[in-house]
Amino acid sequence: MFRGHLVEQKLAWKGLTLALAILACQLTLILVVSAVWVHLRGIPAGYASLYGGGVYLIPQFLFSLFTLSRKLGPGSAGWVLWDFCVGAGIKLVSTVALFVTVLLYVEVEHLPLYVTYSLSLFFQWVITIVLNNRY
């Protein structure tokens, strides 16, 4: 029993470490892309790029927080699936809400916003594949 508990804790810690590493890599990517936009097109483009990165990063953080908040135990596979489905719904709704908020209430350049969001989304897959083989 004690050994199984340690294995569960190790798996939970591994998932948390992977999630935090992905979020840290994404934040670094967003800051670098925003700096490039500032260099190429000025400060308003940099702010728009930061907004695009925020529209990606905030829902991703909420998803990670929700899916990793449950303590795992024997027979919890159904709850893990439930958490991922609800977490995906939270991510979708919060992404739409953030896009609507940014596009309606903030005057931003659209190209840096969408490019940074798209790059963040693309590199989520790349970073996950690379880090999932490491951790």
Whether 54 contacts 98, CB under 8 Å: yes
Alpha-carbon dihedral angle through residues 122, 37, 102, 123, given to the nearest 10 degrees: 10
Instruction: Give 84-112 pLDDT, tens digit per residue.
Output: 899 999 999 999 999 999 999 999 999 99
Helix and strand tally (H, E) in the chain? 4, 0
What is the arithmetic mean of pLDDT over 5-28? 74
Q: Beta-carbon neighbour count of residue 135 at 10 Å?
A: 12
CA distances from 19 to 14, 23, 49, 102, 115 (A): 9, 6, 23, 26, 23
Q: How confident is the model at residue 2 (pLDDT cuts 50, 70, 90)?
A: very low
